[in-house]
Structure 1
């Protein structure tokens, strides 16, 4: 799987469009880099770029952007509301996919070393890359800002990690490092900047000093006035959204604003945001307001509405949520077919798609029928007394149906990979060993895919039983068909498990898998029978 790293360089220029575009072009023209967002602020005179790529590509992209900044930005004339230390003020590297924090630490050090060597620039390391505790935080390194750097950099305590320990007037210094995904988040207030700052001091971790810490951890912030919006903001960096997510900050601002008789006018996310943080907000409001929302896109819409993310600029999930931006097209050629085409493909003279794909399809359709009946019971006036029960039953059925869909293609992919392994050369001892290892792994995959089908389908039985017991009897036959389809899907997947087990040499894997598969097969027969008996006994 691809390694993806996010790089979020902050440049001290937010007004000169030619400079902003030139830096963007440098990133765009770097092979392997994908520029996701450009957020320029006139009042802050600062632009935040967000791009992703492989570990090697993001280093090259950041270096290319820095070269342009050296030519275009002169810190001697820079003025802006945001704290800053240099032309390329800070350049963090963030793990996104299949990359560890340790790898990002190495990436940041590689970037810092090369930036210093190539351009003679002082570079400091921060966050996970820092080796000195007293200069681990960005605020510690930025203390005194660009104007104070001249005297600070020549001291022993503030010798740069890379580059010369001298003041470069046109540049200043750059801070780089690896960090968790930082969310730049602003809550809008119809207030004075002093009132906004007062609230920020109440909330940010540092508070008003050592003796008066703020209420929220992993939050840096201040209050200011944004002329472009004609309103004040509590502007924060959420260093770890698992500690303090955006919705918690928003709700705490609302509490303090209420005490001061100040109106909250929505909020904004500067740059990009992880999907998880948005879904956390959605789940918070779903629980708080006793809502019932299943679909991801509806949860995203709820979070946008409750946080007021469209208040000062359009929040387009496809352009703001990082997972949606970098998402690759699903490799599901079978699941994407029409029903007619899928059946014709199965009926063709080809061994794939075969029984495993059909088993996953049938199991998915069985669970889907249960989900349908539960949803047709929810919200109907005559069944209002069952709403709470249906809210419990629908999610496992709904999610199981969705989880089974990718397995339709996974089974065919596994079969094709095994067939390809059969064609590997075996002329030398090394080739024979490699082929044997590849074939064994291929067999395990060929077992694990239908075994996963069984596990997902098996987990749906209790919800199916309760749907049979309480669901709308007008859909009795749908639950009957669903139960039999679910059983058939599990039994079909079972056959695809046992047919591939004999040639697997790992006895422990083989024995454990076979026992669990047999248990699920027996359970499927019993549970289906129970559902049919329940339905036959119901009169209403």
Structure 2
């Protein structure tokens, strides 16, 4: 899974369109960064940019934008309603997919250090990136604003994390750090502003005060009235949707509304949302209503429907879900191509794609055949009594089949990375050291990719296959047999790839550890295949 980080820098310019555009262009022109939104405010004289990319690309995009701002924004002339302390006032990094908060802290510190070094400006850390309680929040750090920052920098407790105390009048100071993804979420109600606000007070974490806290953690909320829509809304900021997901906020609002005979008529997400937040809601309603849904697009459709996200305006997943906006897929070129192209590629006079990619393909097909047998048993009157069992067996096989697809390209990528490391120069000690480090990482990858395939096969398939062999649609027995053999063949292929790449490891202890795991995993696969085939044979007799 690729790593996606969101960056939301706030620049102190919301009126001059040429400056706003120049900063946006700096982000757009950064390779690997995708600009998602530019939101200028005239009265605040501030523009919020939203872009995403991998850890390296978001740092480069943020730096490029800052360098443009350094030339074009003069804080000595800045006035606006929003509190501010610098040309680039705050630059948070937010984990979206495949990346941890801890990794984002490293990204924020990398950005802060480079910003201070390359522009000669003071930089503070906030949020998770800060280790000092008295300077963790934006209000704490920004107190006194731009006008008071020159003197504040001279105080011992306010030395910047990066850069010197020297005052750069045109720039001011910048804050960077990490925060969780904030979801701006509104619940629609046929109610008055006051009624909506009453429910907001019940829900929001601060409630009505210290003695009357609200029910939902990491939730900020107020009630307001939308004159143009002639409805009220509970306006909610979910500051950590892992703690309080969208669907919980919605269901709790509905519960309170029902108690005072008010109608909730749907909801809306303001701005963009991570895919996982939508899938959380889908899984909630799948469990609540005892539904059986496998495909991601159907889950997204369910969440949109149950939350009423299209009540005010259409919720278009390709425009509102971050991962879909990027049109990014974990599926590589080999897996996306046709079967014919893949076979011809394997048959060509090139070392990759080779046995590892073939092993991943075969294993994915094996799991897919198991899922197919489950699907051809589920919902049939003849096997209606097995519906609940099939609901348990099909999802892990379906998930295994789809999750192994990226492994088709992963093996080839690992091989290519190893060959690239081999070709690195080694003319001096520094080059030799860099080459050795790159080879170590690449070698580890060539072993972990096939081991991961073997682990996946053994963890999520054999029990399901065995149960299908015992009770599934008997007319599909050949598919189960082929599927089991494919899984076993995939495990064998991965095993052979581990063996050949172990030759590149010089540490005998590590080599022995990997070999033992590979042998154990292969034995599990052989035993699993044998058990499935025996179960099918018993039903044929």
Q: Would you say same fold, with TM above 0.5?
A: yes
Distance 1:201 1:92, change over 3 A: farther
Q: CA deviation at 1:223?
A: 0.8
State the Cα deviation string for residues 467-491 of structure 1 (Å, max 9, x = none). Answer: 1111111111111111112112212
Partner of residue 378, structure 1: 378
Give 2:65's match in structure 1, choosing from 57, 61, 81. Answer: 61
Matches within 5 A, 1:48-447: 49-52=49-52, 54-58=58-62, 60-61=64-65, 75=80, 85=83, 91=90, 93-96=92-95, 97=99, 99-101=103-105, 103-104=107-108, 107=111, 127-128=127-128, 178-326=178-326, 328=328, 330=330, 332-428=332-428, 431-432=431-432, 434-447=434-447
Partner of residue 489, structure 1: 490
Distance in 1 of aligned mates of 2:215 and 2:223: 16
Give 2:20's match in structure 1, choosing from 20, 23, 47. Answer: 23
Distance in 2 of aligned mates of 1:193 and 1:112: 46
Partner of residue 167, structure 1: none
Q: CA deviation at 1:439?
A: 4.1
Q: Which moved more, 1:50-59 or 1:489-498?
A: 50-59
Number of aligned positions between the proteins: 514
CA contact (8 A) 2:9 2:88 kept: no
Partner of residue 477, structure 1: 478
State the Cα deviation string for residues 424-456 of structure 1 (Å, max 9, x = none). Answer: 445555555554554454443322222222222
State the Cα deviation string for residues 17-69 of structure 1 (Å, max 9, x = none). Answer: x8679735632344436421256899999975423452243255368679679
Distance in 1 of aligned mates of 2:195 and 2:118: 44
Q: Which moved more, 1:380-389 or 1:94-103?
A: 94-103
CA contact (8 A) 1:23 1:68 kept: no
Q: CA deviation at 1:195?
A: 0.8
SS of residue matched to 1:256? helix
Distance in 2 of aligned mates of 1:125 and 1:431: 34
Distance 1:410 1:51, change over 3 A: closer
Distance in 2 of aligned mates of 1:116 and 1:228: 48
Q: Does 1:513 align with 2:514?
A: yes
Distance in 2 of aligned mates of 1:362 and 1:378: 25
Distance in 2 of aligned mates of 1:417 and 1:298: 37
Distance in 1 of aligned mates of 2:203 and 2:394: 39
Cα root mean square deviation, aligned? 4.3
Partner of residue 524, structure 2: 523
Distance in 2 of aligned mates of 1:150 and 1:68: 14
State the Cα deviation string for residues 178-236 of structure 1 (Å, max 9, x = none). Answer: 42211111111111111111111111111111111111111112111122332211112
TM-score computed with the length of structure 2 as normaliser: 0.80
Unaligned runs of 5+ in 2: 166-172
Distance in 2 of aligned mates of 1:199 and 1:155: 44
Distance in 2 of aligned mates of 1:248 and 1:451: 38
Distance 1:212 1:132, change over 3 A: farther
Distance in 2 of aligned mates of 1:395 and 1:358: 24
Distance in 1 of aligned mates of 2:211 and 2:285: 34
Partner of residue 499, structure 1: 500
State the Cα deviation string for residues 320-362 of structure 1 (Å, max 9, x = none). Answer: 2223334645572221221122222222223322222211111
Distance 1:139 1:225, change over 3 A: farther
Distance in 2 of aligned mates of 1:465 and 1:239: 44
Distance 1:270 1:42, change over 3 A: farther
CA contact (8 A) 1:377 1:471 kept: yes
CA contact (8 A) 1:27 1:65 kept: no
CA contact (8 A) 1:93 1:108 kept: no
Distance in 2 of aligned mates of 1:23 and 1:418: 43
